[in-house]
Chain A
Amino acid sequence: MEDYKNKLNELPVDIKLRAVDRLKIHLMRQKYGYFSRLCLLMALIGPGILVMLADNDAGGVMTYAQTGSIFGIGFFIPFMIIMLPVAYIVQEMTVRLGAVTHRGHAEMIWKRYGKFWGAFSLIDLVIANVLTLITEFIGITLGMEVFGVSPVFSSVTAIVVISSIQLFLRYFSWEWISLSIAAFNLVFIPLVFFVPHLHWGAVARSFVSWHIPGGINSLFIYVVLANVGTTIAPWMLFFQQSSVVDKGLTVKDIRDGQIDTFLGSLFMVIVAIAIILVTAGTVFGFTHTPNLDIQTILSAISAKMGPLAMRFFALGLVEAGLIAAIAISASTSWAMGEAFGWPKSINIPPLQGWKFYLPGIISLLIAGGIVLIPNAPLGFLNLTVQVVATIFMPAAMMFLLLLLNDKEIMGDHINKPWQNISAFAIVGFLIIMNGIYGITVVFPHIFGK
């Protein structure tokens, strides 16, 4: 026994802590029965649920809220259901890639396709992450204002909380605290049952008619792109793969990782639909501008559903910003560590891993500082971030597909034909939508005003 413990102590601290976690998994795997299997699944889930609930971030909540407010339920409820397999297909690939290679997405691009594409992906990711973090802090500060908390206090507290859990906790504790925070994302679901005059028959009919109020115009395409952008974003690929690697998942855990990703996708879509239903039932018809701000949405919810419902919505907004800021700052740190070959694990103590933690904390400080600048154009900034992310998504997807079709690194876990067909269809859809959006930018009235 002593020999084994000595061997454990010989490992670097981050790998030692991961080894302890993996020993627990190793023990669980040797037991039989449904309960033991469930315990194993519970121990292995995390990255998938976390990435998907973090994807319903403050920007996402605002996008869904604006979608429901502008277009109602006619088109976007069925659309969100379609987004479930889309999100699952894309994110499942990162589970396999991480479990097989034990390396993050940034590292794989950098080392497999060279410094140029590695740097291109890293710069894209870091810029998009900082921009997205700004929207998270806007969500946190606006949500907390409902409870009478000043933006300065909310912003500083959020930075301290997120940095602390990243710096001082090991991966296992960090993941469980993050999942506990993410659970508050479900706060939007009960609100649906208090929406006045919500006709479930109309919701069901939306699947048959798939009606677009106002028809296809540039605003509609803008909102579709924003919804796609918030459902699948580049940071999610990098985050989940790095998370899978830091958790230590192996090829034996791929099935559990897939269940984890599916559960996460399901929760994500249910929450998104709940937000669209709430805002469609309270704000739809109120305005037709994409620059609809969150205060207007909160006021409408308060007027039609009462102040308690509005506070619940604000709480959900704060949670959404907080969990996404945790995930996005971690993805920045992981990606930088992977690209530059630094030690890269949340298991590393702060002083030993300061280079790894620094990029995430700096991105939090930048975003938390910018948000305190008065009169930030929230609605516009939010939709723009989503659109920018969608434009760069095909590039990130292409690297994912190249790696998943690389027999040399993936071996037997290479993409199956149906996975390639689905993934290429998603990339094709993104490119076509981006192209149509680009045309509407150059010729704004091509689809009517």
Chain B
Amino acid sequence: MKIEDKISRKINLDEDWEDFIKEEGLVDYNKIPVERAIVKGWVQIAFWFLRIYILIMVIMVIIGFSRIH
């Protein structure tokens, strides 16, 4: 017996199918756009910190690798 048949014998979702789908997130999320975040305040500071951190770390890694024999 297919698993769908087993489940459908125990439950009737015909009436509240739409609710079930919505509640369980059973939709194609590729088709739902995500709004771009507004980068301001402390988030903007965090991004600048990240840029500086990456730059310093890349320099450190280059120095580190150049010293490996």
Chain A contact residues, CB within 8 Å of chain B: 1, 3-5, 7-8, 11-12, 15, 18-20, 22-24, 26-27, 102-103, 107-108, 111-114, 248, 250, 341, 343, 388, 391-392, 394-395, 398, 402, 406, 408-409, 431, 434, 437-438, 441-442
Contacts and interface: CB of A to CB of B under 8 A. Distances in A.
B8 A4 contact: yes
B39 interface: yes
Contacts of B46: 398, 402
A19 B33 CA distance: 22
Contacts of B26: 11, 15, 18-19, 22, 248
A300 to B, nearest CB: 26
B1 interface: no
16 contacts: A4-B17, A5-B8, A11-B26, A22-B24, A22-B26, A26-B11, A111-B33, A112-B37, A113-B36, A248-B24, A391-B57, A408-B35, A431-B53, A441-B60, A441-B64, A442-B60
A395 B53 contact: yes
Contacts of B40: none
Nearest to A401: B46
Contact of A112 (B24, B34, B50): B34
Nearest to A405: B43
A272 B34 CA distance: 40
Contacts of A108: 34
A5 B50 CA distance: 50
Interface of B: 3-4, 7-14, 17, 20-21, 23-30, 33-37, 39, 43, 46, 50, 53-54, 56-57, 60-61, 63-64, 67
Contact of A343 (B11, B25, B30, B34): B30
B36 A20 contact: no
A142 to B, nearest CB: 23
Contact of A391 (B4, B23, B29, B61): B61
Contact of B43 (A24, A102, A341, A402): A402
B7 A15 contact: no
B62 to A, nearest CB: 10
Tell me what chain A mostly uses at the interface: helix, strand, loop, or mixed. helix
Contacts of A409: 34
B3 to A, nearest CB: 6
B24 A27 contact: no
B14 A12 contact: no
B37 A406 contact: yes
Contacts of B21: 19
Contacts of B36: 111-114
Contacts of A27: 7, 10-11
B25 A438 contact: no
Nearest to B3: A20
A26 B13 CA distance: 11
Contact of A434 (B24, B29, B57): B57
A275 B57 CA distance: 31
* 10 tightest Cβ-Cβ pairs between the two chains A and B: A438-B60, A111-B34, A441-B64, A102-B25, A22-B24, A4-B14, A112-B37, A23-B7, A3-B14, A19-B26
A1 B9 CA distance: 8
Given A107-B34, A391-B61, A438-B64, 6 more contacts: A4-B12, A12-B28, A19-B26, A112-B35, A431-B53, A434-B57
Nearest to A114: B36
A103 B28 CA distance: 10
Interface centre among A4, A111, A392, A406 (most CB of B within 10 A): A4
Nearest to B13: A4
Nearest to A18: B26
Contacts of B7: 20, 23-24, 27
A412 to B, nearest CB: 16
A394 B53 contact: yes
Nearest to B57: A391
A398 B51 CA distance: 12
A85 B36 CA distance: 32
B4 A20 contact: yes
Contact of B13 (A18, A23, A402): A23
Nearest to B46: A398
Contacts of B17: 4, 7
A8 B26 CA distance: 10
A272 B67 CA distance: 31
A160 B13 CA distance: 40
Given A18-B26, A19-B24, A395 B13 contact: no
A431 B46 CA distance: 14
Given A103-B34, A341-B30, A402-B43, A395 B50 contact: yes
B44 to A, nearest CB: 11
B60 A15 contact: no
A11 B20 CA distance: 13
B30 to A, nearest CB: 5
